[in-house]
Amino acid sequence: MDITIRESGGSPQTVNWTTLKSGSWKKQFGAVMPTDDKHGGTAEPDYYYRYHRSADITLKLYLETKYKENNLVKTVLPQNDLLYIMADPTVTTEKGKGIDTTGFNIRVLSPGLGRVEINPTTVHLGHFIKTSDATLTRHGDFTVTARQVLRPAPGQSFELPLNIRFNKGALSATTDNQHLALKNTGDAEDNGLQLSIKDKDTGTPVTFGENTLMGKLSVTPSGALTNNIIKNYTIEVNRRSGMDVKAGKFTGAITAEITYN
């Protein structure tokens, strides 16, 4: 791995894997703190003064040797004093302030481990009759399913937290990003109708372009491949408040994007 350290507003400094493997290294980063010229004139920062600094530490992981097996999880345990922050790089007798890290997982996943299905892929809402708001409101249901297709490496079993996001495509979102303005075919103007989606089970409206937790997909090595996450949604088309509805044919295309974290 490579480690990159960047103080807010400063230039990044990178320690590569070759240097890390040496076991002993120093890298100066960030702005130099004022030295103590009022209380003894030392080369160290004035300990009577409190400094407020922040920095981001980024780990870049890569493989030197290809894994023989796919669909596995490697757990990295929490580390104490992984790095030390030193006020004076010339001091060799003190380690400085230690930095701890939490544990995390490294997942090695093959293409095709899972599959996403949307049923139906097209929701037909029929004809809208321009007589009242009630007749200009239509609903339709669809289901999004994420399922395990391939098995993990022998002895491996893990969960994949999945996010789902609905993208607006070529449609324009209203100010709350929870409705999409519709247009008649071949017309650049809005037709007075809007489209929205709700989680059918909870009633929670979907915010377009925003990730929400779909669930955790269990990936297991044995038994039938029946592990899946099923989410039910309701799509609604209704009249936009204060707008006249134009007669004509219209369609709306949106995409559902599933990602894991």
Say what the pLDDT of residue 2 is: 92
Look at domain 114-260 and name its CATH class.
mainly beta
Q: Which is more confidently placed, 34 or 130?
A: 130
Predicted confidence (pLDDT) at residue 167 exceeds the cutoff of 90: yes
User: Of residues 182 and 80, which shows the higher confidence score?
Assistant: 182
Q: What is the pLDDT of residues 42-68, one digit of tens each?
A: 566 666 667 777 888 898 988 777 777
Nearest to 260 by CA among 154, 143, 165: 165
Residue 217 is predicted with a pLDDT of: 92
Tell me what percent of the residues of the chain surpass a pLDDT of 90: 40
pLDDT surpassing 90 at residue 30: no
What whole-number distance in Å separates Cα of residue 162 and Cα of residue 212?
A: 9
Q: Which residue ranges make up each domain of the chain?
A: 2-108, 114-260
CA distances from 35 to 26, 74, 88 (A): 20, 44, 10
Highest-confidence segment of 34-38, 99-103, 130-134, 171-175: 171-175
- Please tell me the predicted confidence (pLDDT) of residue 111: 83
- What pLDDT score was predicted for residue 39? 54
Higher pLDDT, 204 or 67: 204
pLDDT at 69 over 60: yes
Q: What is the pLDDT of residue 36?
A: 62
β-pair partners for 162 = 215, 260
Report how far residue 4's alpha carbon sits from residue 102's, in angstroms, rounded to the nearest whole number: 17
Average pLDDT over all residues of the chain: 86
pLDDT of residue 147: 93
Specify the pLDDT at position 201: 95
Give me the sign of the Cα torsion angle 91, 97, 98, 101: negative
Contacts 24+ apart (CB under 8 A), 198-207: 198/233, 198/234, 198/236, 199/231, 199/232, 199/233, 200/141, 200/232, 200/233, 200/234, 201/231, 201/232, 205/178, 206/166, 206/178, 206/233, 207/176, 207/177, 207/178
Tokens 């120093």 sit at which residue?
Answer: 26
What pLDDT score does 38 carry?
Answer: 60
Give the pLDDT confidence score for residue 242 in this predicted structure.
85
